[in-house]
Amino acid sequence: MQYEYIAIPESDVPRASHPIFQHLLDTYASETSKVITVWRQFSVEDMAFRPAERSYTVAEVMKHQLLSERRFFGGFIGLPAEPAPEALLPQELTPAAFCRRNEELCRYLRLLGKPVPPSYGPTADVTWTGADPTRSVEAAGR
């Protein structure tokens, strides 16, 4: 699948000695492109948007996602010295400065009247010839 923005070009993904490790690296790179494609749909003005009083703002969701993934991946691969949380946060909280909460952010995009980019397939806003979305039991069997 092609993304509007490629965060980690295929040429920059390290080559692993075992296929399962290569799959993990390729998946990480692909997921990173999905996240940044969604994040780039938000403008600086959208950062303070929250759909309800008790909801997070767009910037808070992005910050949570960034810090949670740092924690998860650091523990997953057993890094003894993860980067400090403050080292991961950009100085300015803008969409361009942030590079898993895509579902939540896609709902925010809908509420803001912005297009939702594809991440695992077509959306109501972006589709293409030959797309085969799984919207039924029959489609899941293909």
pLDDT at residue 5 greater than cutoff 90: no
Domains and CATH numbers, the chain: 10-140 (1.20.120)
Q: Can you tell me which residue has the tokens 């946060």?
A: 89
Q: What is the pLDDT of residue 101?
A: 66
Read off the tokens for 93.
């909280």
Q: What is the pLDDT of residue 127?
A: 76
How many CA atoms lie less than 13 Å away from 118 in the CB half-sphere? 16
| Distance of alpha carbon 8 from alpha carbon 14, whole angstroms | 11
pTM: 0.66
Span 70-85, average pLDDT? 65
Q: Catalogue the long-range contacts made by 24-27 (C-beta closer than 8 Å, 24 or more residues apart).
A: none
pLDDT at residue 96 greater than cutoff 50: no
| Distance of alpha carbon 98 from alpha carbon 92, whole angstroms | 9
Q: Can you tell me which residue has the tokens 């995009």?
A: 109
Read off the tokens for 67.
């810090």
Decide which of 90 and 44 is more confident: 44
- pLDDT tens digits, one per residue of 18-75: 888 888 888 888 888 888 888 899 999 999 999 999 988 999 988 888 777 776 666 6
- pLDDT tens digits, one per residue of 118-139: 877 778 787 777 777 777 787 7
Q: Which amino acid is at 107?
A: R
